[in-house]
C-alpha cells in the first residue's frame, strides 16, 4: 500500500532591522557601509547596557517600533496600538542578561497575510505575529576555550511567524524570497543573507494526504540561505516519511541543518526543552503607536514587490519571468524603476526599451551578480548606463555582443556608454558604401549557398551574415547586412 504524505510547514523568520543603533542602547547596530560584520573587532560595539552590566537599563530605540509597524502594514497585519515587551529567561553565555527581551503577549503586529504563487496557484500564507526582540551575542569556540563577541547582542530583530500554511519545500522557498523582497523594499532590512540579516527556523511535519490532524513537528533552526532552507525541508520531509513508513514515530525536537552533508541532525528533544518563564519586562513601559504615526508610516510605504511585478508586466510589457527576477531584490527593483523613469514617454512600452533594460538586468547583470556573489550596488553601473545601452542597441549603433562588452566595462569604470563605444571601437558599421563590396565578395565566394538562398532556403542567410561579420571584424550591423544581401539578390 502506498500511502501518500503531505508536508505542513510554518516558518519563523528573524529579520535584522537596519537601524543605526541597537534596540536598547546607543551602540552601532551594524558595521559602517561597505564593511563586513566579520571585519569589526570583537566587542567593539559594546557598552555596559548591551553587555548586561549590573544596574543598567534598556531604553527602546523608537525606530525599531516604526520598522516593525512598516513590516506589519506591508504584510496586511493588524497593528497593536499598545504592545509590551517580555523577558524570555534562559541561560547561555552569549545572552548577557540571562534573559532576552522579546515580546510575548501583545506583539507589535498580528494576523497578517502574504500571497504567493505556487504550483497550487496563488495561496495566502497567514502571518501569526510579528514581534520585536534583541539578538544575542556570538560564542566563538577556539580549542578548549569559548570566547564571546557581544557586537551582535542587542541588535534589533523582528521575528515574523507564519501559520503552517506551506505544503512543500518549494513553497517555503517562494514565501521566503517574497518576504525577503518585501523587507528589503520597505527598507527595514539590508537583506544580506551571508551576514545573517535574514535567518529562518522551519517547523516541519507530515500527515497522510487528506488528514486533518497535524503530525508531530520538528523545528529546523537557523538556516540562512534560500537554497539551504529548501534542501533542509526536503531532507526533513523525506526523513519523517521514512520514520513513519518504518512504523516508528516522529519525535518533537529541534534539529540543525548540516549544509555540508545536506542532512538535519537532532539538537535537543522536547523533554529537554526550556521553560522560558515569560513575564512582562518591568524595565520597559508598554509602547504605543499613535494613529498619526501609523498613518504616516503607511503613506511612506513604497510600492511593494507584488504590485511592481504586476505593473512591470501590464504597463511595461515585461515577461512574468523578467518581472519576477527584477522584483526579487530591492536593489534591482529600485535600479530598474530609476532606469524606466529616464525613458521618455515615447520610449515605452511599444519601442521595447523598458523590456530591453529589463533584459540587461535579468541577463548580463544577474549573471555577474551570481558569478561574483556581489551586489549590484558594488558595481559602478547606473540606471543611466542601461538606458544608454538599450537606446544604442535599438538604434543599431552597437550589436548585442558590443552591448555586453560595453556593459561590463561600465560596471568597472563607470564611464558613459558613448565614451566606451568610441574608445573600444564598438560602433557597428552601417555605411552601405563600405559594406557593399564585402557583400559582393561573398556572392562570388559562396555560390552554392547563394543558389540555396535564391531557391527560398532562408536558413543559409544566417550563415552568410556570419561570414560577413567575420570579415568585418564583428562590427557590421547584421540587420543592414541582411538587407544588402536581399537587395543584391533582387537586383540579379
Partner 1 sequence: MSNLTLPLDITSLHRAFEAGEWTPGAITRYYLDKIRANRLNAWLNVSEERALEQAARAERILSDSGGKVPLARFPLFGVPMGIKDNLAVQGEKLTCASRMLAEYIAPYSATVVERLESAGAITLGKLNLDEFAMGGSNENSAFGRSLHPTHPERVTGGSSGGSAAAVAGGECLAALGSDTGGSIRLPASYCGIFGIKPTYGRVSRYGLVAFASSLDQVGPMTRTLEDGTRILQVISGVDPRDATSLVMPAITRPQASPLQGLRVGIPAEFDGEGLSSDVRSSFQDLKERLTRAGATLIPCSLPHITHSIAVYYVLAMAEASSNLSRFDGVRFGNRAATAAGAESLEKFYAENRSLFGAEVKRRILLGTFSLSSGYADEYFLRAAKVRALIARDFDHAFQNLDCMLSPVSATAAFRAGEKSSAPLQMYLNDLYTVPANLAGIPALSLPWSRDSDLLPIGMQFMGPRGCDEKLLGIARSVEKLRNGGAS
Q: Name the site residues for partner 1 (rule: CB under 8 A).
A: 48, 51-60, 87, 89, 91, 93, 96-99, 148, 275, 277, 279, 282-285
Cell numbers given for 133:
526582540
Comparing CB distances to partner 1, the nearer of 44 and 285 is 285
**Residue found under cell 518585501:** 182
Cis peptide before 349 (omega within 30 of 0): yes
Rg of the chain over CA atoms, in angstroms? Answer: 29
Return the number of the residue (41 or 145) whose C-beta is nearest partner 1. 145
User: Residue 31 or residue 52: which is nearer to partner 1 going by CB?
Assistant: 52
Question: Nearer Cβ to partner 1, position 39 or 271?
Answer: 271
Q: How far is the CB of 281 from partner 1 (least distance, A)?
A: 8
Which pairing describes strands 5-16 and 218-223: parallel, antiparallel, or unpaired? unpaired
Using the structure block, give the residue that is written with the C-alpha cell 511535519.
205
All cell numbers assigned to 425? 571601437
CB 98 within 8 A of CB 91: yes
Contact between residue 402 and residue 426 where contact means Cβ atoms under 8 Å apart = yes
Task: State the nearest-atom distance from the C-beta of 54 to partner 1, in Å.
Answer: 4
Please, what is the minimum distance in Å from the beta carbon of residue 325 to partner 1? 45
User: Cβ of residue 40: shortest distance to partner 1, in angstroms?
Assistant: 19
Residues 293 and 65 sit within 8 Å (Cβ to Cβ):
no
The nearer residue to partner 1, 282 or 473, going by C-beta atoms, is 282
Nearest distance from C-beta of residue 345 to partner 1, angstroms:
52
Closer to partner 1 by Cβ: residue 133 or 165: 133
Closest separation between CB of residue 287 and partner 1, Å? 9
Q: Which residue number, 279 or 321, has a Cβ lying nearer to partner 1? A: 279
The Cα 122–Cα 51 span in angstroms is: 46
Smallest gap from Cβ 294 to partner 1, in A, equals 21
Cα–Cα dist 201/195, whole Å:
16
Nearer to partner 1, 278 or 443 (CB): 278
- For partner 1, the closer of residues 56 and 313 by Cβ is 56
The CB density around residue 456, as the number of other CB atoms within 10 Å, is 6
Q: CA 414, 417, 419 angle in degrees (round to 5)?
A: 90
User: From the centroid of its chain, how far is CA 344?
Assistant: 29
Cell of residue 48, nine digits: 555596559
Give the nearest distance from C-beta 69 to partner 1 in angstroms.
Answer: 19
Q: Which is nearer to partner 1, 96 or 112 (CB)?
A: 96
Question: Helices 353-360 and 305-316: crossing angle, nearest 10°?
Answer: 130
- Determine the Cα–Cα distance for residues 345 and 395; give it in Å rounded to an integer: 17
SS3 298: helix
Q: Specify the residue for cell string 486533518.
A: 212
Nearer to partner 1, 89 or 416 (CB): 89
Q: How far is the CB of 134 from partner 1 (least distance, A)?
A: 14
- Helix (H), strand (E) at residue 201: strand 198-208
User: Smallest distance, Å, CB 60 to partner 1?
Assistant: 7
d(CA 139, CA 195): 16
Distance CA 330, CA 199 (A): 18
Q: Do 254 and 268 form a contact (C-beta atoms < 8 A)?
A: yes
C-alpha distances in Å from residue 234, one per residue of 88, 123, 167, 208, 211: 31, 20, 11, 17, 20
We find the least distance from the C-beta atom of residue 7 to partner 1, in angstroms, to be: 29
Amino acid at each position: 500500500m502506498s500511502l501518500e504524505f503531505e508536508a505542513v510547514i510554518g516558518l519563523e523568520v528573524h529579520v535584522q532591522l537596519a537601524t543605526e543603533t541597537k534596540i536598547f542602547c546607543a551602540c552601532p547596530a551594524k558595521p559602517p557601509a561597505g564593511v563586513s560584520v566579520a571585519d569589526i573587532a570583537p566587542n567593539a560595539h559594546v557598552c555596559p547596557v548591551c553587555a548586561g552590566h549590573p544596574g543598567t537599563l534598556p531604553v527602546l530605540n523608537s525606530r525599531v517600533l516604526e520598522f516593525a509597524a512598516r513590516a506589519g502594514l506591508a504584510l496586511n497585519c493588524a497593528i497593536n496600538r499598545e504592545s509590551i515587551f517580555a523577558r524570555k529567561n534562559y541561560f547561555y553565555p552569549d545572552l548577557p542578561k540571562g534573559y532576552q527581551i522579546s515580546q510575548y503577549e501583545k506583539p507589535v503586529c498580528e494576523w497578517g497575510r502574504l500571497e504567493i504563487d505556487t504550483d497550487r496557484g496563488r495561496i495566502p500564507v497567514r502571518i501569526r505575529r510579528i514581534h520585536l526582540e534583541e539578538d544575542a551575542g556570538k560564542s566563538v569556540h577556539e580549542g578548549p576555550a569559548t570566547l564571546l563577541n557581544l557586537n551582535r547582542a542587542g541588535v534589533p530583530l523582528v521575528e515574523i511567524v507564519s501559520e503552517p500554511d506551506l505544503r512543500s519545500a518549494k513553497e517555503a522557498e517562494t514565501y521566503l524570497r517574497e518576504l525577503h523582497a518585501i523587507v528589503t523594499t520597505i527598507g527595514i532590512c539590508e537583506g544580506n543573507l551571508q551576514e545573517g540579516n535574514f535567518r529562518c527556523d522551519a517547523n516541519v511535519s507530515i500527515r497522510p494526504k487528506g488528514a486533518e490532524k497535524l503530525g508531530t513537528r520538528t523545528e529546523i533552526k537557523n538556516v540562512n540561505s534560500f537554497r539551504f532552507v529548501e534542501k533542509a525541508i526536503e531532507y526533513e520531509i523525506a526523513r519523517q516519511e521514512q520514520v513513519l513508513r518504518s512504523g516508528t514515530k516522529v519525535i518533537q525536537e529541534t534539529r540543525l541543518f548540516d549544509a555540508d552533508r545536506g542532512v538535519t541532525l537532532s539538537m535537543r528533544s522536547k523533554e529537554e526543552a526550556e521553560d522560558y518563564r515569560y513575564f512582562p519586562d518591568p524595565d520597559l513601559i508598554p509602547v504605543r503607536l499613535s494613529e498619526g504615526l501609523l498613518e504616516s508610516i503607511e503613506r511612506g510605504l513604497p510600492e511593494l514587490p507584488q504590485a511592481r511585478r504586476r505593473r512591470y508586466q501590464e504597463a511595461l510589457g515585461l515577461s512574468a519571468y523578467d518581472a519576477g527576477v527584477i522584483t526579487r531584490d530591492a536593489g534591482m527593483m529600485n535600479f530598474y524603476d530609476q532606469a524606466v523613469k529616464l525613458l521618455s514617454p515615447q520610449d515605452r512600452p511599444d519601442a521595447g526599451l523598458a523590456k530591453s533594460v529589463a533584459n540587461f538586468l535579468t541577463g548580463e547583470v544577474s549573471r555577474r551578480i551570481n558569478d561574483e556573489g556581489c551586489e549590484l550596488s558594488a558595481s559602478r553601473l547606473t540606471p543611466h548606463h542601461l538606458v544608454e545601452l538599450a537606446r544604442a542597441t535599438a538604434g543599431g549603433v552597437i550589436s548585442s555582443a558590443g552591448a555586453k562588452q560595453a556593459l561590463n566595462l561600465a560596471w568597472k569604470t563607470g564611464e558613459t556608454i558613448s565614451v566606451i563605444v568610441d574608445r573600444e571601437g564598438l560602433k557597428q558599421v552601417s555605411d552601405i558604401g563600405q559594406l557593399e563590396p564585402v557583400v559582393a565578395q561573398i556572392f562570388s565566394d559562396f555560390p552554392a549557398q547563394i543558389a540555396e538562398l535564391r531557391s527560398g532556403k532562408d536558413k543559409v542567410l544566417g550563415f552568410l551574415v556570419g561570414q560577413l561579420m567575420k570579415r568585418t571584424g564583428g562590427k557590421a550591423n547584421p540587420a543592414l547586412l541582411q538587407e544588402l544581401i536581399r537587395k543584391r539578390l533582387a537586383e540579379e
